[in-house]
Chains A and B, each alone.
Chain A
Amino acid sequence: MLLSIISQSFFQPFSIEDNLLVILTALTSGSGVGFNRAMLFRTSGEVLKGELWLGPKSAEEANSIWEVLSTPGIGYVEIIEHNRALLSRQADSLSKRLKPLVYSLDREPLSIPALAAAKREVVWVKDARSEPSVDKTFLDVVGVDEWLCVPLFSGEEVLGEVVLDNAITRRPIEHKDVKLASLCGLMAGNYMYATMLHKKLVDMERMAALGEMAMFVIHQLRNPLAAIGGFTDQLVNFPNDEVRTRRNLDIIREEIKRLEDVLFKLTPFLKMDMRKPISFELPPVVQAVLQGPNIQAKRESIPIEVEIEDRLPEILGDPTYVGEALRNLLDNALEATEKGGRVSVRAGRQEKKWVILCIQDTGKGLPESVKDKLFDPFFSTKDRGMGVGLFYVKRVMDAYGGRIEVESELGKGTLFRLFFRSREEKGENP
């Protein structure tokens, strides 16, 4: 039970704080190792800082907590919720007493509790009052004579420490408790390390994407600026050439429009922050996009056929982003299609899991060479394209567990399929 809860916790989409809380719970729940209380320290630079202290304040409170946690079939989500509530109730007691505690990890002599983390070894304190290396403040805070310090580390990297005791039951710590607690410590340490690395990687990727984008924006702005500057200088140098003045002013106006266009197209892309998915009906979103002024104007020369299956299940995502994604695809489709061609929008379901939205055109199609790069940021097949449209669409689809597929043949047209997760699949609906 204990180990399964801990290993489960590594694969859940909760924050590291929540997951550490589960580990502390596992160490203190009756069916787990069974310590009464667990405190968590985390390293920050070269110091160890008190962070969380989970456990009952009294025997009465202990009974009610242990009862909840030993309920048969209790799962990860329930434990998280229970402990969040417990922590917020005791926000002014246990953890508050722990938080001011800070210990250096590299300054000798090392005191207990810092010793365990610094040496990356379990330290079992049996009679704290006769142990000279125990920090007196810590002893006052803990208030018992026996406890176990378990370091949290991975390789050389020290990430924190857990201190466990039996302040309520006063049951002496046994060898088998020490073994299990050490094992938990090892797992938790590696989990924290993996989470840290993952976060670093995500940050690095984000920075790289940002750098790429900054480069691109600079280019998009410098070209129009060079033209505006050059033609303005001509206006100054040839004030009496009316024909040239007229022409230059037209060019300058045009280039300014381009600058605005760059900003306009980048805005939705930059401010895109993924909210929690909600379930919503796709057909009204499709209709709203089709009624948009931009699409309406183009529909006059190229007809759009719409075919939506009855009683589609609701889909998961964000209607604003999905609408914007559809608008992007329709814009592309209408642009790629010559007069006399057709664009169609179809929506239907595939098994229980998916709702599929297809956008198809009879336009010029995509050459093989661009298919791989189609969804890359800042890649465009259009002369003055920004290359953010399809990248945006893909981001929207990825964010909510969907996907996008493309089929295209030169001279025949292109078909985009958007796969949305249906709400039914999540079992929220009978």
Chain B
Amino acid sequence: MKKLLIVEDEEALCLLYKEELSREGYDVTTVHDTEQALEMLGRESFDLIVTDIRMPGRDGVELITEIMGLRKDIPIIINTAYQSYREDFMTWAADAYVVKSSSLDELKSKIKELLS
């Protein structure tokens, strides 16, 4: 079973992603911020990371930088409410950029694509 790490500070969205992606057949772990994500990455291995950008404390861009520093080759999907970060070149290091919307279809298909 492929393991996903979801970094999202919104409680309700964490619940939604966990339920919906588990139903798609993934093993889903959710954390609320960059610190928790790095701690989790140090402890376990994951097949894919989905992260928000604007979060309290260190943001998603810093998380991506840290992960690159760890030289772990894990695909990363940025999942955010902001379209504008697409222009931020640090986000180019991510493998996909999904703007949050009322449908999860795009996020689901990007995950499937990157794990195939």
Interface residues of A (CB under 8 A from B): 215, 218-219, 221-223, 225-234, 251, 254-255, 383
- In the bound complex, residues from chain A placing their C-beta under 8 Å from that of B54 are 219
A234 touches B19 (CB 8 A): yes
Cβ B102 vs Cβ A225 within 8 A = yes
Which residues of chain A are near B16, meaning CB under 8 Å? Answer: 226-227, 230-231, 234
Q: List 19 A-B contacts (CB under 8 A).
A: A215-B84, A219-B82, A222-B99, A222-B101, A223-B10, A223-B13, A225-B100, A225-B102, A226-B16, A226-B81, A226-B101, A227-B13, A227-B16, A229-B101, A229-B103, A230-B103, A231-B12, A233-B103, A234-B16
* A255 vs B16: C-alpha distance when bound (angstroms): 13
The secondary structure that dominates the A interface is helix
B20 interface residue (CB < 8 Å to A): yes
Residues in B whose Cβ lies below 8 Å from that of A383: 56
Is residue B38 within 8 Å, beta carbon to beta carbon, of the partner chain? no
B104 contacts A by Cβ under 8 Å: yes
CB neighbors of A among B33-84 (8 A): 54, 56, 81-84
Q: Closest Cβ of chain B: how far from A383's Cβ, in Å? A: 7
Closest partner residue, chain A, to B12 (CB atom): A227
Given the known A-B contacts A223-B13, A383-B56, are A230 and B102 also in contact in the complex, defined by CB atoms under 8 Å?
Answer: yes
Residues of A within 8 A of B12 (CB): 227, 231, 251, 254-255
Whether the Cβ atoms of A226 and B82 lie closer than 8 Å is no
Interfacial chain B residues near A229, Cβ < 8 Å: 101-104
Q: Which of B15, B56, B81, B99 has the most CB of A within 10 A?
A: B81
Q: Is the CB of A215 within 8 A of B82?
A: yes
Shortest Cβ gap from B91 to chain A (Å)? 15
A221 to B99 CA separation, bound complex (whole angstroms): 13
Interface string of B1-19 (1 = CB under 8 A from A): 0000000001011011001
* Chain B nearest Cβ from A143, distance in angstroms: 61
B19 to chain A: which residues have CB within 8 Å? 234
Chain B: which residue is nearest A381 at the CB level? B56
Assuming A218-B81, A255-B12, is B102 touching A226 (CB within 8 A)?
A: yes
Distance from B19 Cβ to chain A, minimum over Cβ atoms (Å)? 7
Residues from chain A with Cβ under 8 Å of B99 in the complex: 222
Closest residue of chain B to A218, judged by CB? B81
Min CB distance A25 to B, Å, is 50
Min CB distance A385 to B, Å, is 10
Closest to A231 in B: B16
Residue in B closest to A211 when the chains form the complex, CB atoms: B84
- Across the interface, which residues of A come within 8 angstroms of B84, CB to CB? 215
Bound state CA distance, A229 and B99, in angstroms? 14
The reply to whether B10 and A225 contact each other, CB–CB distance below 8 Å, is: no
Q: How far is the CB of A213 from chain B (nearest CB, A)?
A: 13
Residue of B nearest to A230 (CB): B16
Residues of B within 8 A of A226 (CB): 13, 16, 81, 100-102
Kindly state the separation between the CA atoms of A221 and B20 in the bound complex, as whole angstroms.
Answer: 22
CB pair A218–B10 under 8 Å, yes or no, is no
Q: How far is the CA of A226 from the CA of B82 in the complex (A)?
A: 13
Interchain CA distance A368-B84 in the complex, whole Å:
30
Within 8 Å CB of B82, what residues of A? 215, 218-219
Name the residue on B nearest A384 (C-beta): B10
Q: A-B pairs with the 9 shortest C-beta distances? A: A229-B102, A222-B81, A219-B81, A230-B16, A226-B100, A227-B12, A222-B100, A225-B102, A251-B12
Q: Please name all residues of chain A whose beta carbon is closer than 8 Å to the beta carbon of B15 when the two chains form the complex.
A: 251
Please measure, in the bound complex, the distance between the C-alpha atom of A231 and the C-alpha atom of B10, giving whole angstroms.
14
Within the complex, the shortest CB–CB distance from B60 to chain A, in Å, comes to: 13
A residues near B81, Cβ cutoff 8 Å:
218-219, 221-223, 226
| CA distance in complex: A255, B101 (Å) | 14
What 15 new A-B contacts, CB under 8 Å, besides A226-B102, A231-B16, A233-B103?
A219-B81, A222-B81, A222-B100, A222-B101, A225-B102, A226-B100, A227-B10, A227-B12, A229-B104, A230-B16, A230-B102, A232-B102, A234-B19, A251-B12, A255-B12
Shortest CB distance A410–B (Å): 17
Interface centre among A218, A223, A254 (most CB of B within 10 A): A223
Which residues of A have CB within 8 Å of B13? 223, 226-227, 230
Q: How far is the CB of A209 from chain B (nearest CB, A)?
A: 15
Q: Which of A225, A231, A232, A234 is within 8 Å of B101, CB to CB?
A: A225
